A and B are shown apart, each in its own frame.
Chain A
């Protein structure tokens, strides 16, 4: 009976002992970075065809990021949220690109730089004046619009220096799109 008790206890405890401590103490932490509010991209205004958004996570969101940086394992969820308004132009879409450098200055840019990687999109938007010409992108919908290559670069930057730059651009030949209350949502995987 002593042997059977010992074996039974072993059967109960072996799976738990085999687990690394970081798995047991890991957490999914929700944080976000606010995009400029509002910003507009306009294909017919030189130097304003895209929006350059330098992101330094140690500044915004700040403590949520820096306090957990040494424990970060990755990102478990991402989203770009906001209300997209087609001010003038046909139906099209919005795309967000990422580069690993902290490009300056923030604001309008003539185009996305060479080597930028598609991060998010296309987020479809209807023609100006149409019912779907104003769209608030849902959280679930947005999470599905990330490209794997862009996501990999973003994860690398979040685990690295926390600095990168986003470029937002329209896909239609002619566009003027305003983005209100834009937010980059990150769910950090952290563990000891």
Chain B
């Protein structure tokens, strides 16, 4: 996990030259929809992103992410409806954004890696590497502020399988300072 993390960060940093870097911070939130998972339903996701815009093309973005999936309900053909905890995920990691566009409008594919923990009542916790891949669109209505809309596919590995979710989020980041 650490080697992959360092490799991704290293490649991202190697892509830069000694140019100015903008550093921002901001929250996001949205919906999380489990993919190919009968045991969880649609829930919510939230987190904090710290985008570091190294060059116009590339942004490296450490993040903290959390999500709470909806409970599954099933009666198994009996008169009783049972409810299973949908589970919750917390994690941190880093994404790399390939940014295109002007200062006001930006479009970016992104990919990331992180360390995640998946918890479900009555089951053992899963602490594993997770990956995210997605597309985002940003609008800057005023200087330093960027509003983001993203769609991401997130998966936490678990042996030969993975817990997967599609996330649609809205967030905002504010450029707190720039390095010369």
Please, which residues of chain B bring their CB within 8 A of the CB of A83? 80
Q: Which of B72-123 contact A (CB under 8 A)?
A: 72, 74, 76-80, 82-85, 96, 98, 109-113, 120-123
Number of residue pairs A-B, CB distance < 8 angstroms: 144
Please, which residues of chain A bring their CB within 8 A of the CB of B163? 28
Cα A114 to Cα B15 in complex, Å, equals 65
Q: Mark A142-174, 1 if CB is under 8 A from B, else 0.
A: 111000000000000000000000000000000
- Contact B58–A81 (Cβ < 8 Å): no
Cα A79 to Cα B155 in complex, Å, equals 25
Please, which residues of chain B bring their CB within 8 A of the CB of A30? 38-39, 72, 74
Interface size on A, residues (CB 8 A): 50
Given A24-B155, A28-B38, A34-B76, decide whether A16 and B162 contact each other with a Cβ distance below 8 A: no
- Contact B4–A18 (Cβ < 8 Å): yes
Q: Mark B133-163, 1 if CB is under 8 A from A, else 0.
A: 1000000000000000000000101111111
- Contact A4–B16 (Cβ < 8 Å): yes
B66 to chain A, nearest CB (A): 20
- Contact B162–A23 (Cβ < 8 Å): yes
- Contact A5–B57 (Cβ < 8 Å): yes
- Contact B84–A9 (Cβ < 8 Å): no
Whose C-beta in chain B lies nearest to the C-beta of A12? B111
Please, which residues of chain B bring their CB within 8 A of the CB of A25? 36
- Interface residue A44 (Cβ < 8 Å from any Cβ of B): no
Q: Mark B20-39, 1 if CB is under 8 A from A, else 0.
A: 00000000000000001111
B162 is contacted by which of A26, A82, A143 (Cβ under 8 Å)? A26
B70 to chain A, nearest CB (A): 14
Cα A136 to Cα B83 in complex, Å, equals 12
Cα A7 to Cα B113 in complex, Å, equals 17
Cα A86 to Cα B87 in complex, Å, equals 33
Please, which residues of chain A bring their CB within 8 A of the CB of B36? 25-28
- Interface residue B179 (Cβ < 8 Å from any Cβ of A): no
- Interface residue B65 (Cβ < 8 Å from any Cβ of A): no
- Contact A73–B110 (Cβ < 8 Å): no
Please, which residues of chain A bring their CB within 8 A of the CB of B176? none
Q: Mark A1-41, 1 if CB is under 8 A from B, else 0.
A: 00111011111111110111011111111101010000000
Q: Mark A132-144, 1 if CB is under 8 A from B, else 0.
A: 0000101111111
- Interface residue B11 (Cβ < 8 Å from any Cβ of A): yes
**A-B contact list, 27 entries, CB within 8 Å:** A5-B57, A7-B14, A8-B96, A12-B110, A15-B8, A22-B160, A24-B155, A26-B164, A34-B77, A73-B160, A76-B39, A76-B123, A77-B39, A77-B120, A77-B123, A79-B82, A81-B80, A82-B78, A139-B82, A140-B85, A140-B122, A143-B121, A144-B123, A181-B79, A181-B80, A183-B76, A191-B160
Q: Which A residues form the contact surface with B (CB < 8 A)?
A: 3-5, 7-16, 18-20, 22-30, 32, 34, 73-74, 76-77, 79, 81-83, 136, 138-144, 181, 183, 185, 187, 189-191
- Beyond the given A23-B160, A81-B80, A140-B122, please list 13 additional residue pairs across the A-B interface where CB-CB is below 8 A: A10-B11, A11-B111, A14-B7, A15-B4, A15-B8, A16-B133, A22-B160, A26-B164, A28-B36, A76-B158, A140-B84, A141-B122, A181-B78
